[in-house]
Structure 1
């Protein structure tokens, strides 16, 4: 219970000051009142749904590097980032539960993954590199050349969440996971002011930058909260602005990109992860009901993100399930934004360039919205994407909005996303508050063997 006492106090204090809920209440109150309409899908998987899961797991069977136990982020390309590692851990839990693999294979796969975490080379700042080779486990750049590239505090936050879920489902591995994470220097990930910082390393120079935007930084903060680190600035929704699309208020990041150098698209992914993994609850919440959400602000924002996409179908007859995705050619990766750069329904690359012809109905987003909102619209989305797979390779990225053509890229993120949606249907929210004493608690309470590295015992 010590682990969450300080967290509960801080979250109550923030809400009492109006930093989390009252600041968005006026612009999201209409959406908040729609909570009663949400009824996620729950229950044992049907034969059809198990077949969907089996198709998704084909990706992992094909893309596991036997020498390392790691899985390629993109089909047949031997690199992996920390978000991909997180996705794999959640997919592995689904594969075990749905009996797509044996208990022995699950044990071997998880053991090899934890062994990688315990021994992987870290950047000079003592944190995971952005990219690793899945064949030799070394640090590489996006071209798969040896390189110390830098780090992403957001990706690491996602990994911390997946590791917490893994420990809760596999308590016998908790000690080893804690030992691996205790190697990291959190001082370089969260500033004294409570902001997440990423870093780029180029020509032996380190450039640190504030990382995240509204939605994704709140999500990533949950990973740090699990370790007792309070990223104050990143769990505070301010600054934000409001845009109204089809009569629905949508919050977006209020920071000026000219000064922050951070793209600010509104897209589905972080709000869906917050639903699938936390049910839009605060991290210490023991609630198991799908209908109630202790973090009402994030729940309202998720509702608006879903409803505005449904409204586009209702008003314009354009099927919409928007996230980020890879494409087969340049620019290779885009955000299908609900709103970005002052424009609704724009598709943007990392450099801010527009590529609207690349917008997809995302397979992953369709499955996850279907799991979280039991509506006629999400039924239609599933009908639209349920045949978009290669029977031996896994699920395709999506269907182009303009032409209905398939984007035939096959990625870990999409196939793990399908498995996560089905795991949520079977289990409800994936993260559960845990008061059990763990290895890290012993270290945090030690006068002589405290790990330091900005892991503060005052939060335990």
Structure 2
């Protein structure tokens, strides 16, 4: 990897609509983007190379037999969330001209063919994790679990997003995709207008749990609504949205916290980015997402620390963290899935930097892209930079590279799924 550089990327400059008549440092109070003013930005040579770098992760890590891709390089495990990301990466790479239609079709066929073979949890829905080589159900440590560890409604909805985009762009695969979904009992994923998953407690006790907090729930529900699932409550922000004052700005948060619902709620970039990259803006998402973005700019203005927060894998312990603008009532902390504070591992996220750049075209995001440009490797993009040292988080993941491809697709063409 080339050394980290702070130099400006030639060919990537702030949009005139954001800097006209203003100095760059005064951009904090600029208005939210107007989705109606979106214009395609054909990729220049440097941006196209960004896409090629992201695609190398998939070239290097696709299993030759099953056609599936691991969530993390050299760790032969997958989730439905990540395979959905892989399908979206294929669609993006093809549309951008990084791969040929023939290559895309061959990859899609292998993925879908393998998905038809998966053993289902309780013969009803995909397990939370699988080995990409054997296709066996596993736990998150990739250890075989013959009875499975439950299912995630949110993960399955991301896979469905990938399937919808693929079949829209490659309609010849619709029958095979339908064959996959016909095996699943999607009715189990919803209850009372929201999503529910299945959790296994102490390896034997099964329990339905409501899934999704702010951003994640609405993103999944956007997919669910298109599928005709009864998730109207999950689709809306208003019932669960609260605002928390932070100096002179307000941070959006979920009213369902650990004290009220037993599980802490996190507010972070990822779900807002994915909804826009895949489906485009809707008014409710714009209001909340812009507040999430603006909070990160505010922290930069306040502390001088470039801030671009998302969920990310980490090289070494604790291996995964949610880098948040809010965890329940605590601003700007990073936590594990079990909500242990790991803020010393907080990172500037590569995928979030690309995502915000693509959907806002804001000059602050030029600084973010400049900061992460040195994270390209022959095997894809590293996940980000540790804030404390600005050294690379040297881990290569499917999700990072898929979201970068989605962001570049949005930049060039707009949302992946064309709603009629």
Give the TM-score of the pair, scaled to structure 2: 0.88
Aligned to 1:337: 324
Pairing 1:383-398 to 2, within 5 Å after superposition: 383-390=370-377, 392-398=378-384
Aligned mate of 1:363, from 350, 375, 379: 350
Match of 2:410 among 416, 424, 428: 424
Matched, 1:410 2:396: yes
Q: Mapping of 1:67-146 within 5 angstroms?
A: 67-124=65-122, 126-146=124-144
1:323 is matched with 310
Cα distance in 2, alignment partners of residues 41 and 50 from structure 1: 18
Kindly indicate whether the alpha-carbon contact (under 8 Å) linking 1:336 and 1:348 is maintained by their aligned counterparts in 2: yes
In structure 2, the gaps of 5 or more residues are 1-28
Shift of 1:160: 1.2
Aligned to 1:151: 151
**Secondary structure in 2 aligned to 1:70?**
coil
Q: In the alignment, does 2:180 pair up with 1:194?
A: no
Between the aligned partners of 1:37 and 1:65, the Cα distance in structure 2 is 39
Distance of 1:43 and 1:105 partners within structure 2: 25
* Structure 2 residue 230 is matched with structure 1 residue 244: no
Deviates more, 1:348-357 or 1:224-233: 224-233
CA distance in 1, matches of 2:247, 2:289: 16
Give the Cα–Cα distance (whole angstroms) in 1 for the partners of residues 349 and 170 of structure 2.
31
Corresponding residue for residue 313 of structure 1: 300
Evaluate the alpha carbon distance shift between residue 87 and residue 95 of structure 1 in structure 2; reply closer, same or farther with a 3 A threshold.
same
Q: Contact 1:38–1:373 (CA<8 Å) still a contact in 2?
A: no
Partner of 2:59: 61
Aligned to 1:15: none
**Which residue, out of 44, 50, 53, partners 1:52?**
50
Give CA deviations for 1:275-327 in whole Å, capped at 9, x if unaligned: 1112223xxxxxxxxxxxxxx22110011111111122223211000000111
TM-score, scaled to structure 1: 0.81
Q: Is the 8 A contact 2:279 2:419 kept in 1?
A: no
Residues in 2 aligned to 1:40 and 1:394: alpha-carbon distance in whole angstroms: 28
Question: Within 2, Cα distance between the matches of 1:431 and 1:130?
Answer: 25
What is the alpha-carbon distance in structure 2 between the residues aligned to residue 373 and residue 350 of structure 1? 29
2:225 maps to 225
Distance in 2 (CA, whole Å) between partners of 1:379 and 1:73 is 28
- Alpha-carbon separation, structure 1, partners of 2:35 and 2:116: 45
Q: 2:288 aligns with which of 301, 313, 327?
A: 301
Say whether 1:253 aligns with 2:240: no
Counterpart CA distance in 1 for 2:160 and 2:105 is 20
Is 1:274 equivalent to 2:283 in the alignment?
no
**Secondary structure at the counterpart of residue 206 of structure 1:** strand
CA deviations on 1:48-101 (whole Å, 9 max, x unpaired) are 011111111111111111111000110111111011001100111122223332
SS in 2 for 1:330: coil
Say if 1:40 and 1:371, in contact at 8 Å, map to a contact too: no
* Aligned CA distance change for structure 1 residues 133 and 35 (closer, same or farther; 3 Å): same
Deviates more, 1:94-103 or 1:57-66: 94-103
Structure 1's unaligned 5+ residue stretches are 1-30, 282-295, 435-460
User: Per the alignment, do residues 362 and 383 of structure 1 end up closer, same or farther by CA in structure 2, a change over 3 Å counting?
Assistant: same
Between the aligned partners of 2:250 and 2:81, the Cα distance in structure 1 is: 30
